Amino acid sequence: MTLRLHDYLPSGNGYKVRLLLSQLGISFERIEYDIQRGETRTPEFLGKINANGRIPVLETDDGEFLPESNAIIFYLAEGTPFFPEDRLERTRVLQWMFFEQYSHEPNIAVARAMLHVFDLEMTEKRQAVLEQKQKLGYDALGVMENHLEDREYFVGGRYTIADIALYAYTHVADEGGFDLSDYPAVRAWIARVASQPDYVPITQG
């Protein structure tokens, strides 16, 4: 049986998995859900695929369902050049992946979803939420900019799943209203990631 990815094409979290699978040369079947129509909230999805009602979920060869994008890319990268062997470097990779989930994705991905993915009416309340998300998103971009000023990649001088996790929503941050012109190190890193072998764009299913 091939791997199955339960997915939604515009999702940066899904894209992390698609990008790594492409770079590992692993073929997979993609199952698309329309999250705007609640397709990840059906009793069947909640009961069998992810009780948390969200994609991405990787269905493994032996029938396990793995949710959480960063857990999935960790699972796939273990034992490959995309995850270091050194203990401290492994921990640094996790450090950046937790940063992505706590300080980056909830702000940059949500601003992008509001402006680009969902067809939302911009009420005053939503505008205030968006502005707060953008402020916190810029804070996260500032942390990344400082770190990348004298580095090519996030950990150990080479491309790892920390870069994949952070790239997913950073490279489409403009769709959430972010302007990266004051973040030259982040922009150079985005170009570096996009030139990796077997790179695929977020729009490719």
Ligand X SMILES: N[C@@H](CCC(=O)N[C@@H](CS)C(=O)NCC(=O)O)C(=O)O
Cα distance between residue 35 and residue 55, in whole Å: 8
Across 132-156, b (16+ Cβ under 10 Å) vs e yields: ebbebbbebbeebbebbeeeebbbb
Q: How far apart are the first and last CA of the chain?
A: 19
Cα distance between residue 168 and residue 202, in whole Å: 8
Q: How far is the CB of 53 from ligand X (least distance, A)?
A: 5
What would the x/- binding string for ligand X be over residues 92 to 131, using CB under 6 A?
A: ---------x------------------------------
Using an 8 Å Cβ cutoff, are 154 and 160 in contact? yes
> Please, which residue, 70 or 107, has the CB nearer to ligand X?
70
Size of the site for ligand X (CB under 6 A): 14
Which residue type, as a one-letter code, is found at position 75? Y
Residues numbered 6-65 forming contacts with ligand X, rule: CB under 6 A = 8, 11, 13, 35, 40-41, 53-56
> Please, which residue, 33 or 82, has the CB nearer to ligand X?
33
Cα distance between residue 45 and residue 138, in whole Å: 35
> Please, which residue, 31 or 185, has the CB nearer to ligand X?
31
What would the x/- binding string for ligand X be over residues 152 to 191, using CB under 6 A?
A: ----------------------------------------
Binding site for ligand X (CB under 6 A): 8, 11, 13, 35, 40-41, 53-56, 68-70, 101
